[in-house]
Amino acid sequence: MKKVSLGSWAFAAGPYADNPVSFDQSAKRIAEAGYDAIEVGSFGHVTLDGYATKESRAELKSFLDELGLERSGYGCDQRAFDPTVLGNREKYVEQFARNLELCNDLAIKHVRVDTGAQPNRYRDDDEYESAKGAVTEIFNAAAQKAADAGIAMTWEFEPGFIFNKPSEIVEIHEKVDHPNFSLLYDTSHAYMCAVVGSRQRGKKETLPGGAEELLDKLEGKISALHLMDSNGSLNDNNTSSHDPFGTGYVDFKALAPKLLKIPQLDYWTIDMCFWPAAWELVDAQLAYVRKLLEGAEAVQEPAATPPPAGEAAAGEARAAE
């Protein structure tokens, strides 16, 4: 059985931004609900400034250990240094290294990044391609820094940020070209990128097979997973609306068996980012994913068919001899 995690940022961003639930309270709620892990968010929760010392991080690690919560990953805040600007490379990697140190202090082995810039930031074709080159170069340097620290680096593509067409997602991965760089597949973002073509530059690019076809195209490139539904719209922050399971259009029954086959994917992380009633849905979303996992595992590993009676008898006779 895969382990189920929940992203802490759901209680600190969007509707919760003005009155965030503390990280400690969030962790306790997640542990009491029966989750295996927590995905630590830097946005409003565990920041470099808030946990600046080894001592403060050691206390936080002990707190999470006592709750029985593993850490599925860290949502890294690199917004101060836009990776689409090549001149930010040194500062980006320098701050990223500090985030990696925090990850190691908290026993976190996956760190998430994004492309940072808004999709419509670069309207000139040459500027757009230059921004793409800057992202791939900076991500390559960051991936090596993460590898040196023993931490896997993943990029979360989404309509909220630049380079969100299916072909661009594949292209970015290929151009970064680093063994420690992989993708985070978010089911809601995948639906908006592959089915709706939301906030894409120029002509829309969608896939006939939708989110499932995008998953196929990204085979061998994924090392992290976020789960939530999608109603085909954007939220107030101009990115995918992460709707409760069963209220949108994502075909989890079709996706789940394929998600289960992704190698070395230990955690299925629920992402209720920007959902106004996230706190009240903690238990129900866990129950949905547990049931989804059970169904997917049943499909992947059907019960063994017993041999015909004659063959069984023959086998018993041979064993007796």
Domains of the chain: 3-320 (3.20.20.150)
What is the mean pLDDT of the segment spanning 26-40?
98
pLDDT in tens, 260-276: 999 999 999 999 999 99
β-bridge partners, 111: 74, 153
CA quadruple 90, 93, 99, 103: dihedral sign: negative
Coil vs helix vs strand at 3: strand
Q: Return the percentage of the chain with pLDDT > 70, whole number.
A: 93
**What pLDDT is recorded for position 202?**
95
pLDDT for the residue numbered 138:
98
pTM of the predicted structure, to 2 decimals: 0.93
Instruction: Kindly report the number of other CB atoms within 10 A of residue 300's CB atom.
Output: 12
Q: What is the pLDDT of residue 1?
A: 79
Asked if residues 243 and 230 have their Cβ atoms less than 8 Å apart, the reply is yes
What gap in Å lies between CA 149 and CA 99, rounded to an integer? Answer: 11
The tokens for 317 are 């006779």
pLDDT value at position 27? Answer: 98
Enumerate the β-bridge partners of residue 112.
75, 154
pLDDT tens by residue, 215-245: 999 999 999 999 999 999 999 999 999 999 9
Residues 8-20 have a mean pLDDT of: 95
Q: Are 153 and 182 in contact (CB under 8 A)?
A: yes
User: For position 301, what pLDDT does the model report?
Assistant: 56
For residue 54, pLDDT beyond 70: yes
15 close to 30: Cβ distance less than 8 angstroms = no
Indicate whether 30 pLDDT > 80.
yes
One-letter amino acid at 94 equals E
pLDDT of residue 320: 41
- Mean per-residue pLDDT over the chain, rounded: 93
Contact between residue 187 and residue 230 where contact means Cβ atoms under 8 Å apart: yes
pLDDT over 90 percentage in the chain: 91
pLDDT, tens digit, for every residue of 152-199? 999 999 999 999 999 999 999 999 999 999 999 999 999 999 999 999
CA 183: distance to chain centroid? Answer: 8
What pLDDT is attached to residue 299?
Answer: 80
pLDDT in tens, 112-124: 999 999 999 999 9
| pLDDT classification of 43: cutoffs 50, 70, 90 | confident
CA atoms lying within 13 Å on the CB side of residue 20? 20
Residue at token pair 């140190």? 101
Q: Is the pLDDT of residue 309 over 60?
A: no
Mean pLDDT of the 287-292 span: 98
What span, in angstroms and rounded, lies between the C-alpha atoms of 119 and 189? 14
Q: What is the pLDDT of residues 64-119, one digit of tens each?
A: 999 999 999 999 999 999 999 999 999 999 999 999 999 999 999 999 999 999 99
What pLDDT is recorded for position 305?
A: 47
Estimate to the nearest angstrom the gap between the alpha carbon of 142 and the chain centroid.
18
